[in-house]
Amino acid sequence: MNIDRDRYYLELALEEAAIALDENTYPVGAVIVDENDQIIAKGRNRVHTQQDATAHAEIDAIRNAGKSIFHAKVNREKFTIYTTLEPCPMCTGGILFANIKRVVWLLNDDMGFGGYKKIQGTNVFDRKFSEVDVVEEPFDDLKEKQKELMIRWSSNSNHVTNLRKAVIQE
Ligand SMILES: [Zn+2]
């Protein structure tokens, strides 16, 4: 594992997360990179920007990767996905479907919708999971930056808690 390389792409994913927050949606960003350090695609959460509950950063990146995903599968290339938050159950499935072989995330999401480790822990899709290397929370300083984005998100008017308050006040 190349630490500098991982750090570089996680910083790019953080930039995407910050853009998402500026767009008033969940601050999560993702970047897909191939074995030759080529950026295949970037993605960010678009749940509120597109009014699509499934528009998570990892799914967005996989969609943006387009045919590269299938090309990699056919040619047995190993893509890495960098994401700022532990993938949820849907994105965990998406990552397995996309045949991505390495997942690196900045911040665990045990209390939220983090699903990668939970699903892996149930011993289903063992063979699929066994083909994927996981790196969780490799950089404390970048992890803190993601935490700060999440704290800022909690006061955003699109955060569900605040949306509910707005309904009560109507
Ligand atoms: Zn997700």
Tens of pLDDT, residues 103-140? 999 999 988 899 999 999 998 999 999 999 999 999 99
Which residues are close to ligand 1, an ion, with C-beta < 5 A?
56, 88, 90-91
Residue 52 alpha carbon to ligand 1 centre in Å: 12
Residue 169 alpha carbon to ligand 1 centre in Å: 30
58 belongs to the catalytic site: yes
Residue 35 alpha carbon to ligand 1 centre in Å: 24
Chain-wide mean pLDDT for the chain?
95
Residue 94 alpha carbon to ligand 1 centre in Å: 9
What average pLDDT score do residues 65-85 get?
96
Residue 10, C-beta contacts closer than 8 angstroms, at least 6 positions apart: 82, 84, 104, 106, 138, 139, 142
pLDDT digits (tens, 9 = 90+) for 93-103: 999 999 999 99
pLDDT the model gives residue 99: 95
Q: Which of 58, 137, 144, 148 is catalytic?
A: 58
Which parts of the chain are beta strand (E)? 29-33, 39-44, 80-85, 102-107, 133-136
pLDDT the model gives residue 3: 77
Rounded distance between C-alpha atoms, residue 112 and residue 169, angstroms: 26
pLDDT the model gives residue 74: 94
Q: How confident is the model at residue 1 (pLDDT cuts 50, 70, 90)?
A: low
pLDDT the model gives residue 49: 97
Residue 54 alpha carbon to ligand 1 centre in Å: 7
pTM: 0.95
- Examine the pLDDT at 148 and tell me if it is beyond 80: yes
